[in-house]
Structure 1
Amino acid sequence: MPATLPRLIRLVTLAAALAGVSGAAATTRAEVRIRDPFVLPEPATQTYYIYGTTTAGIFDGGIKRKAVMVFQSKDLEHWSDPVPVWEVPADHWGRETVWAPEVHAYRGKYYLFVTITSKDTLPTPAGRPQNVKRGTEILVADSPLGPFQPLGTGPQTPPDWMALDGSLWVEDGVPYMVFCHEWAQITDGSFDIVQLSDDLALAVGDPKLLFSASEGPWVRCRGDIGELYQGKRYHAYVSDGNWLHRTKDGTLLMLWSSYGPTKYAVGIARSSSGSVFGPWEQLPEPLWSDDGGHPTVFKTFDDRLVMVIHQPNRKVERARFFELEDLGHTLRLKGELGAR
């Protein structure tokens, strides 16, 4: 729900949150509109921090300012009012959209990966929608509640790419960002990886392709199923919402989203080598196919493996939580958590 408190009260609310006061549960998750949900469990306080693309923001003098907000919950069902963890500065490189925030604990600090879009245009391939500067930027804080500070002056994804949904992956002690290269720029959206410096501030070297969206046997061209973009039909394959998960037997899986035969869906890719560098084998059937996606996976405090997605993919998105069964070679949906 939008934050509507005056500025002074808002600052007091944030200060209380920063002091570790979670506040009274304000609502149930069924009442909160959210896309791209991400859950950070914090065992020390038995608190779930829930970030995502939301309609909530900071209102000051009647003006809504873009920000990354966080909800807190003890049970994943009842959520606190949202508080800001990072406000987009007036002079920031990107002030159009703020999408898909993730917060990762890494080497004693918390790192916010967030996709930001600017008004700056990029060269646009023929037959594509106008390309704009879009990328994932990394910020750092001492707490899941922020305040987060940028590690640099721009995104860690390539500045001339339309990139999104960056996520942290550490393999053999080396940090990487896995992210999506937007279909609007390359037609067949892809999943790519770039090494990061140890402090996550810089990209090291050039990105490497992991796989393209059209490699998924279940994936359909968005135009072929009538999925319009800005009122137009495009022949393109969408790559969204990558999430890496290592199973109980060491198998490395990537959950990811695109369009299936009729709706937005979640598929699984499996690394044949056990490394993030693949090669990647696409499982033939989606894990979820009923108009929901952008999966992330976490463990509850009672040790259940859970996938969270947004569903449906338009207008009234809500976070939905599904318990997973780890079969080793893949994952299976067991059922939805809690009442709706």
Structure 2
Amino acid sequence: MEKGFRTIKKVKTDEIHMRDPFVFPFEKEKKYYLFGTTFADGCGDKEPIFEVYVGEDLNNWEGPYVAFQPSKGFWGVRHYWAPEVFEIDGRFYMFATFKGGIGEHRGTGILVSNHPAGPYKPHSNGPVTPKDWECLDGTFYEDKQGQRWIVFCHEWTQEYEGKIKAIQLTQDLTQAKGEAVQIVNAAEMEWIRKFGDPRIEKNGFLTDAPYMYHAKNGDLMMLWSSYSIPNFGDAGYGGYTVAVARSTSGKIEGPWTHDKGLLMDRNAGHSSLFRDFQGQLYICTHYPDTPHGSERPLFVKVEEVEDGLVIEPSAGMS
């Protein structure tokens, strides 16, 4: 594991300031590797990086170590967001968001390493999301036929009605192929509220954080995040939330429907799933979402039911 300029410390989960957390359990070592959005835009003379913490349980960690340090000329210059790590064909691939330089869009690129902690090196030739789209939060999915996909958000800053789409990847994960499949049109959701940023004088319907999961009944589920209207879901929080889309065919091509209830509506979101070394399923999320600066990783046990997931929204949240 590579040490960067930041001091390596032993810390508890609630001491780690991080958005978009992602846990990779490495069975071979019986260790958990925790990634997320931390040093996303650099500071002073330090360039943006992806960092990683390591632990043998879900409470005690050591880090941050450097998972990816860009070399001179790398296409991504800022917005180092939402890294996710997958073991594919015996190697470890990081799907991560980067913003290109002047005149270039944000997109998801793919990095590779021989160890889950890194160091990661560029694998794809720039972003695998379409270069003329503003995209983020790409995640990996391999269907039952062995076709590999990236599922990603087409940003509200470019598309007023924010979208989530999927596009096929080549088997070597270096580039996309074919046409995109649309999964979500955020403006159609009953619970969603419009998002705005006065700095860029735009508003629209935000989409974040797709993550794929197969339910016991064969449905293909997708967790994703946005902002809900007050008094729609749990206790009227009306904050950052986790919604569920599902394909009852079990195929990424759909057709897709959308659960009326929200999976989580407690100012928490950008969620993924993992199992501990005892087989317990967890949802991994950041909480709270606001105020900014207070975000911490949160791991909540999940019960698998026939058609999906049940969590205890109050667990660890107030």
Normalising by structure 1, what TM-score? Answer: 0.83
> What's 2:14 paired with?
30
Letter of the 1:30 partner, please give it.
D
Of 225, 250, 253, the residue aligned with 1:277 is 253
| Contact 1:194 1:204 (8 Å CA) reproduced | yes
On the 8 A contact 1:162/1:185 being kept in 2, the answer is: yes
Match of 2:148 in 1: 175
| Contact 2:197–2:203 (8 Å) recurs in 1 | no
Q: Structure 1 residues 339, 184: closer, same or farther in 2, change over 3 A?
A: closer
| Aligned residue number for residue 257 of structure 1 | 225
Which of 152, 155, 168 is matched with 1:195 structurally? 168
- Given that residues 4 and 66 in structure 2 are in contact (C-alpha distance below 8 angstroms), is that contact kept between their aligned partners in structure 1? no
In structure 2, distance between residues paired with 1:58 and 1:145: 20
Q: Name the residue aligned to 2:235.
A: none
Q: Is the 8 A contact 1:164 1:180 kept in 2?
A: yes
CA distance change for structure 1 residues 303 and 32 in 2, over 3 Å: closer, same or farther?
A: same
Contact 2:219–2:250 (CA<8 Å) still a contact in 1?
A: yes
Using a 3 Å threshold, how does the CA distance of structure 1 residues 233 and 56 change in structure 2: closer, same or farther? closer
Gaps of 5+ in 1: 14-24, 122-131, 223-227
Counterpart AA for 2:39:
T
For residues 287-322 of structure 1, what are the alpha-carbon distances to aligned partners after superposition, in whole Å with 9 as ceiling and x for unaligned?
111111111011111111100111122311111111
Structure 1 CA distance for aligned equivalents of residues 205 and 40 of structure 2: 30
Coordinate RMSD, CA, aligned: 2.4
1:149 to 101, 115, 121: 121
Structure 2 equivalent of residue 100 of structure 1? 82
Pairwise mapping of residues 224-243 of structure 1 onto structure 2 (< 5 A)? 228-231=196-199, 234-243=202-211
Counterpart residue identity of residue 28, structure 2? A
Aligned to 2:110: 138
Count of residue pairs the alignment pairs up: 305
1:30 alignment partner, SS class:
helix
| 8 Å contact kept, 2:39–2:51 | no
Distance (Å, rounded) in 1 between the aligned partners of 2:262 and 2:300 = 15
3-state DSSP of counterpart to 1:201: coil
Q: Could you say what secondary structure the match of 2:46 adopts?
A: strand
- Identify unmatched segments of 5+ residues in structure 2: 230-237
How far does the alpha carbon of each residue in 1:262-308 deviate from its partner, in whole angstroms, 9 at most, with x for none?
Answer: 21110111112111111111111211111111110111111111001
Aligned equivalent of 1:326, options 298, 304, 308 = 304
Distance 1:91 1:29, change over 3 A: same
